[in-house]
């Protein structure tokens, strides 16, 4: 069996986080009642004129800067012509020959290997509406609320060689759009979506194989699974002596397969031409300079800084910088207690667990980073045990209470008074003569049994280090 290499390029659509649409003042709010954010422009009435949204242009340019693109001071909107009921104008306004950004790149690291993924271009375009298909009657229903919403399409070079690399690239892009605040990154609502061009070729061959375009990849996991499936499918096709067909394939997440949608013979000829309703977009040099000057620290740079400044492992730094709010939370909490590794552990343990359980993000909770920092501090100072901290975490997260006051009020402060612990230790020893014998006979693992007994008697408040010390002395 020949050894194959996959060649993958991604086309990522990110919805720009503007209030209004790309060419009209209709709201971009998600989830509004059908056809309530629609006007003459975004419903394709004759005689209307599109007027570009200044913020969309700014966001597209900022994204280009963040991924090392050249931002073209002049870019041109073009019409991409095709018919579909969710496209009332009969064409999408996109950019073709002269997109706003070109020639960028992004470095990704997979299995300790850093690779540079080229970014061919980033262009602005308006989104289509939404078709809803009824099972009952012989009709489709069209909602144009999304029609005209601003998108950027980020087109990569075919530089990725595995599903892992594709996911790493996609995650890196996702982190950047969210850091910049140009896109909310919500994949379920379709604010950030991805098509993948996948082909395979015998290892060592220069020419690309025939590619399939995969659609409907609406989560990182689906991107991974769909590409893996598609690579295996194309290998089977070639192994059987058949040829891969150039086509669009839809990923079915439930069955974990890709299914042919349309072949090349039906491939579109979009007949792009410059949109005569729109002048070329000109960006002033001062604006470009200003946007460049206030680019925020990006995830990769921040990850490197957290590793350098706080001694975090690469993996910890990656988890904490995946979300800007999470990284901000980490830095604020660390500033309070000066214990970056403990803060990182508590965030990746208790905090992420509680967030996942509630399906919320860190900026939506009552707990302030100062509270988490204080919690780390009082655990380290021996005021409460790590177990108690873990037990009360959910309540602190919900209430926003400051931990020190909270544990004092609840009487959860750890018992570090030797005489109080000694009583509990003596009781435990007196009540369990058989275990005492066994321990003395060499079953030293029973120390955790005694620990459990004593913790029960003290409601988890005994200082574990003191308990161990006393137990060893008395059983020794």
Beta strand 74-75 pairing with 247-252: unpaired
Q: How far apart are CA 31 and CA 145, in angstroms?
A: 9
Q: How far apart are CA 151 and CA 17, in angstroms?
A: 9
**How many residues bind another protein, per CB under 8 A?**
52
What is the number of residues in the chain? 476
Angle at 154 between CA 190 and CA 35, to 5 degrees: 35
Sites for another protein among residues 130-149 (CB under 8 A): 131-134, 137-144
Q: Least CB distance from residue 211 to another protein, whole Å?
A: 23
Asked if residue 464 binds another protein (CB under 8 A), the reply is no
Q: Kindly tell me which of 81 and 109 has the beta carbon lying closer to another protein.
A: 81
Asked if residue 267 binds another protein (CB under 8 A), the reply is no
Backbone dihedral angles phi then psi of residue 25, each to the nearest 5 degrees? -95, 10
Asked if residue 48 binds another protein (CB under 8 A), the reply is no
Asked if residue 51 binds another protein (CB under 8 A), the reply is yes
- As given in the structure block, the two tokens for residue 131 are 């078709």
Q: Kindly tell me which of 2 and 29 has the beta carbon lying closer to another protein.
A: 29
CB 93 within 8 A of CB 59: no
78-97 footprint of another protein as x/- string (CB under 8 A)? ---xxxxx------------
| DSSP H or E run through 106 | strand 101-110
Q: Least CB distance from residue 187 to another protein, whole Å?
A: 23
Asked if residue 2 binds another protein (CB under 8 A), the reply is no
Q: Kindly tell me which of 240 and 265 has the beta carbon lying closer to another protein.
A: 265
Q: How far apart are CA 285 and CA 289, in angstroms?
A: 6
Sites for another protein among residues 299-318 (CB under 8 A): none
Asked if residue 466 binds another protein (CB under 8 A), the reply is no
Q: Least CB distance from residue 19 to another protein, whole Å?
A: 4
Angle at 456 between CA 455 and CA 458, to 5 degrees: 65
How crowded is residue 352: how many other Cβ atoms within 10 Å of its Cβ?
15
Angle at 313 between CA 308 and CA 319, to 5 degrees: 105
Q: How far apart are CA 251 and CA 262, in angstroms?
A: 13
Q: Least CB distance from residue 225 to another protein, whole Å?
A: 24
- As given in the structure block, the two tokens for residue 9 are 């390029």
Q: Least CB distance from residue 253 to another protein, whole Å?
A: 18
Q: Kindly tell me which of 37 and 414 has the beta carbon lying closer to another protein.
A: 37
Please select the residue that binds another protein; options are 152, 166, 180, 281, rule is CB under 8 A.
281
Q: Residue numbers of the site for another protein (CB under 8 A)?
A: 18-20, 24-29, 33-40, 43, 51-57, 76, 81-85, 131-134, 137-144, 269, 271, 274, 276, 278-282
């Amino acid at each position: 069996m020949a050894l194959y290499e996959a060649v993958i390029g991604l086309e990522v659509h990110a919805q720009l986080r503007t209030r209004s649409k790309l060419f009209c003042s209709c709201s971009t709010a998600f989830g509004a009642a059908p056809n309530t954010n629609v006007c003459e422009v975004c419903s394709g009435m004759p005689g209307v004129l599109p007027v570009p949204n200044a913020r969309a242009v700014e966001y597209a340019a900022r994204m280009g800067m963040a991924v090392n693109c050249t931002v073209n001071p002049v870019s041109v909107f073009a019409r991409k012509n095709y018919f579909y009921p969710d496209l009332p104008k009969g064409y999408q306004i996109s950019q073709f020959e002269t997109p706003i950004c070109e020639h960028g790149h992004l470095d990704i690291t997979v299995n300790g290997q850093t690779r540079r993924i080229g970014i061919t271009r980033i262009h602005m375009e308006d989104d289509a509406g939404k078709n809803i298909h009824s099972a009952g009657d012989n009709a489709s229903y069209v909602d144009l609320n999304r029609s005209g919403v601003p998108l950027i399409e980020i087109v990569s070079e075919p530089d990725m060689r595995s599903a892992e690399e594709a996911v790493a690239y996609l995650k890196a892009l996702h982190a950047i759009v969210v850091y910049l605040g140009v896109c909310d990154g919500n994949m379920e609502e379709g604010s950030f979506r991805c098509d993948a061009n996948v082909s395979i070729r015998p290892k060592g061959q220069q020419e690309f194989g025939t590619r399939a375009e995969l659609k409907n990849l609406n989560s990182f996991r689906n991107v991974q699974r769909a590409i893996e499936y598609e690579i295996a499918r194309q290998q089977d096709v070639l192994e059987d002596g058949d040829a891969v067909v150039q086509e669009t394939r839809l990923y079915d997440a439930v069955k974990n397969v890709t299914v042919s949608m349309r072949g090349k013979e039906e491939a579109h000829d979009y007949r792009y031409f410059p949109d005569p309703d729109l002048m070329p977009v000109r960006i002033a040099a001062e604006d470009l300079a200003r946007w460049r000057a206030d680019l925020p620290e990006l995830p990769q740079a921040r990850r490197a800084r957290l590793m350098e400044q706080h001694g975090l492992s690469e993996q910890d730094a990656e988890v904490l910088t995946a979300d800007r709010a999470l990284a901000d939370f980490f830095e604020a909490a660390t500033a309070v207690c000066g214990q970056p590794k403990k803060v990182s552990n508590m965030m990746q343990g208790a905090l992420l667990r509680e967030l996942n359980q509630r399906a919320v993000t860190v900026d939506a909770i009552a707990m302030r980073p100062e509270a988490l920092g204080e919690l780390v501090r009082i655990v380290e100072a021996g005021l409460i045990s790590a177990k108690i901290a873990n037990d009360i975490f959910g309540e602190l997260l919900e209430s926003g209470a400051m931990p020190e006051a909270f544990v004092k009020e609840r009487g959860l402060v750890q018992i570090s008074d030797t005489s109080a612990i000694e009583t509990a230790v003596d009781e435990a020893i007196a009540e369990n003569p058989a275990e005492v014998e066994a321990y003395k006979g060499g079953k030293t693992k029973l120390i955790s049994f005694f620990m459990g007994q004593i913790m029960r008697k003290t409601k988890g408040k005994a200082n574990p280090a003191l308990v161990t010390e006393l137990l060893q002395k008395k059983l020794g």
